[in-house]
């Protein structure tokens, strides 16, 4: 009886660790951050501190009468080229779902704002990496690759569950 409770607890914990809900993320972390920032790298420094996953949504809040959000290619992001956006958003309260992993690029549609730093790129983690926030440990410098036995998280869980059942 106790071993089956242990197994169910481990199974529930595993399911919890490997699932997550999509989040709505306010760009810049506060209202009206989609504007000329206090420093040119302000929005990207914010994005570097934020973990984005497939299914999350970016929320852009801005004055829709004077600005817009343009989703662009990397080259257009780097050159602040507004002439051929992938998509344009003008409503002032824009929600953009991040539906694929990789880099996503956004610039301001207002004249001169992108050049002053009103631009953002975010990197969306693939589903296989979204469960853990800790960086991977550095490799052991004293051993060659493959020389040591490595037991992953799921292997440990399987062993514990196996011991609990017997």
Nearest to 120 by CA among 102, 107, 103, 101: 107
Please provide residue 124's backbone torsions phi and psi, each rounded to the nearest 5 degrees: -95, 125
pLDDT category of residue 22 using cuts at 50, 70 and 90: confident
Q: pLDDT band at residue 128, thresholds of 50, 70 and 90?
A: low
Mean pLDDT along residues 70-76: 98
Instruction: Tell me the C-alpha distance between 141 and 68, whole Å.
Output: 50
The CA distance from 29 to 59, in Å, is 10
More confident residue, 160 or 114: 114
Please spell the DSSP secondary structure of 13-52, one letter per residue: HHHHHT-----EEEGGGSTT-SSS-SSTTHHHHHHHTS-E
CB 43 within 8 A of CB 9: no
Tokens of 19: 């699932």
What is the model's pLDDT at position 147? 38
Give the DSSP H or E segment for 125: strand 119-125
More confident residue, 139 or 113: 113
* Predicted structure pTM score: 0.66
């Amino acid at each position: 009886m106790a071993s089956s409770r242990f197994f169910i607890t481990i199974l529930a914990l595993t399911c919890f660790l490997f699932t997550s809900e999509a989040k709505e993320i306010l760009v810049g972390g506060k209202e009206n951050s989609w504007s000329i920032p206090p420093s040119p790298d302000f929005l990207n420094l914010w994005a570097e501190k934020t973990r984005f996953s497939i299914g999350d949504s970016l929320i852009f809040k801005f004055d829709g009468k004077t600005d817009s959000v343009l989703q662009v290619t990397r080259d257009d992001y780097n050159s602040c080229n507004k002439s051929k956006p992938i998509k344009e958003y003008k409503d002032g309260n824009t929600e953009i779902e991040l539906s694929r992993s990789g880099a996503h690029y956004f610039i301001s549609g207002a004249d001169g704002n992108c050049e002053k730093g009103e631009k953002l790129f975010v990197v969306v983690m693939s589903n296989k990496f979204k469960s853990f926030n800790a960086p991977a440990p550095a490799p052991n410098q004293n051993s060659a690759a493959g020389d040591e036995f490595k037991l992953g998280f799921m292997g440990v869980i399987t062993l514990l569950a196996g011991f609990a059942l017997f």
